[in-house]
C-alpha cells in the first residue's frame, strides 16, 4: 500500500533520516520503534507531505507522493494523528470534527462519518458543544482520532498517541487502534509503549539515528535480544 524507498531528510544542515526504506501492506499495523530523536516524527511528517525528502521515493497505492503538499497527500487517504494531538482548543468538539471533513474526498460523506465517529466515541457525542480544550487528555486524543477519521483515511499514522495519558486510557487508545485496523484501516504506529506496540504490530522497524537498523514481524522484534535490552529494559 505504502512504500518508502531510500528517503533522506534534512532539517537545515542536520540529517534526520538517512536512506530510510519500509513497506506497509494493506491491512497491516506497522510499528516504528526508536529512541527520542531517532527520526520517527520526521518520517511520519515526510510521508504526510510536511517535509520534502532530499532524495528517495514514496509511493502510496501506486502514486508517487514525495514532495506533494500535505493536503493532497491527505486527500489520497493518508491520515495522521499528530504528536501532541493538535486539536483546536477554543473550537467545540463538533467544529473540530468538521475540520477533519474539509478534504474533498470526505465532504460528501460528512454525516455518515460523523455518526460513525460518535458511535465509536460516545463521550464525544455527549460533549459536542463543549470547547475541545476543556476535554480530558484521553478525550482530546479520541477527538484527534475522530477528526482524522472524518477525512476517511485508508491509512492512519499515529505519532505517540498515548503520550501523557493515564495508563488506563493508554489501553483504550491502543484498543481503538486495533478496532480501526479490524475495520480495514491500515495503521502506522509510533508508540512509547514498545512492548504493546510490537504485540499488536504485524510488522515493525527499529529506527536509530535516522536509519532503519532492524525489521521483522512484531513477534520477531519482541523476541530480539537487542530490542529487549534497548527498548524494553529486559
Ligand atoms: N523542525 C526541526 N528543525 C530542526 N531539527 C529538527 C526538527 N524536527 C526534528 N529535528 C531533529 O531531527 C531529529 C529527529 O527528530 P524527530 O523526528 O522528532 O525524532 P523522534 O520523533 O524519533 O523523537 C532530532 O535530532 C531532532 O532534534
Ligand atoms: Mg517524535
Domain range summary for the chain, segments of one domain joined by +:
1-77+154-234, 86-153
- For 106-153, write each residue's pLDDT tens digit: 999 999 999 999 999 999 999 999 999 999 999 999 999 999 999 999
Nearest CA to ligand 1 atom 26: 37
Q: What is the per-residue pLDDT for 17?
A: 98
Going from the Cα of 11 to the center of ligand 1, the distance in angstroms, rounded, reads 8
Q: What is the per-residue pLDDT for 169?
A: 86
Q: What is the per-residue pLDDT for 153?
A: 97
Residue 86 zone, left/alpha/beta (φ > 0; ψ -120 to 50; rest): left
Q: Three-state DSSP class for 48?
A: coil
Q: Three-state DSSP class for 128?
A: coil
Residues of the chain under the 70 pLDDT cut: none
pTM: 0.96
For the record, the C-alpha cell of 101 comes out as 471533513
Going from the Cα of 78 to the center of ligand 1, the distance in angstroms, rounded, reads 21
Task: Name the CATH code of domain 1-77+154-234 (choices 3.30.70.141, 1.10.240.10, 3.40.50.300, 2.20.25.190).
Answer: 3.40.50.300
Residue 115 to residue 118: CA distance in whole angstroms: 5
Q: What is the per-residue pLDDT for 121?
A: 95
Cell 534534512 identifies what position?
A: 10
Which residues 6+ apart lie within 8 Å of 119 measured at CB?
Answer: 125
142 vs 12, 56, 81, 162, 199, CA distance in Å? 34, 34, 10, 11, 22
Residue 16 to residue 9: CA distance in whole angstroms: 6
- Residues in the ligand 1 pocket, defined by CB under 6 Å: 11-12, 14, 16, 34, 36-42
Ligand nearest to the CA of 10: 1
- Give the number of C-alpha atoms closer than 13 A to the C-alpha of residue 187, restricted to the C-beta side: 30
Going from the Cα of 64 to the center of ligand 2, the distance in angstroms, rounded, reads 25
Residue 110 to residue 37: CA distance in whole angstroms: 37
Q: What is the per-residue pLDDT for 39?
A: 98
Q: What is the per-residue pLDDT for 167?
A: 86
Ligand nearest to the CA of 36: 1
Amino acid at each position: 500500500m505504502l512504500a518508502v524507498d531510500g528517503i533522506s531528510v534534512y532539517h537545515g544542515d542536520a540529517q534526520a533520516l538517512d536512506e530510510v526504506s519500509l513497506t506497509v501492506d494493506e491491512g497491516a499495523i506497522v510499528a516504528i520503534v526508536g529512541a527520542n530523536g531517532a527520526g520517527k516524527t520526521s518520517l511520519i511528517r515526510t510521508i504526510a507531505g510536511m517535509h520534502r525528502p532530499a532524495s528517495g521515493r514514496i509511493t502510496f497505492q501506486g502514486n508517487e507522493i514525495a514532495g506533494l503538499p500535505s493536503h493532497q497527500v491527505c486527500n489520497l487517504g493518508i491520515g495522521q494523528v499528530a504528536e501532541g494531538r493538535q486539536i483546536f482548543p477554543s473550537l467545540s468538539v463538533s467544529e473540530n470534527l468538521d475540520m477533519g471533513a474539509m478534504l474533498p474526498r470526505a465532504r460528501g460523506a460528512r454525516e455518515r462519518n460523523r455518526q460513525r465517529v460518535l458511535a465509536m466515541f460516545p463521550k464525544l457525542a455527549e460533549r459536542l458543544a463543549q470547547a475541545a480544550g476543556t476535554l480530558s487528555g484521553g478525550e482530546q486524543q479520541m477527538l484527534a482520532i475522530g477528526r482524522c477519521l472524518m477525512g476517511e483515511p485508508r491509512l492512519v499514522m499515529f505519532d505517540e498517541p498515548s503520550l501523557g495519558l493515564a495508563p488506563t486510557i493508554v489501553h483504550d487508545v491502543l484498543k481503538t487502534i486495533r478496532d480501526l485496523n479490524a475495520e480495514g484501516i491500515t495503521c502506522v504506529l509510533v508508540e512509547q509503549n514498545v512492548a504493546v506496540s510490537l504485540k499488536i504490530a504485524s510488522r515493525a522497524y527499529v529506527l536509530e539515528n535516522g536509519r532503519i537498523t532492524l525489521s521483522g514481524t512484531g513477534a520477531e522484534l519482541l523476541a530480539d535480544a537487542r530490542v529487549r535490552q534497548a527498548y524494553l529494559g529486559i
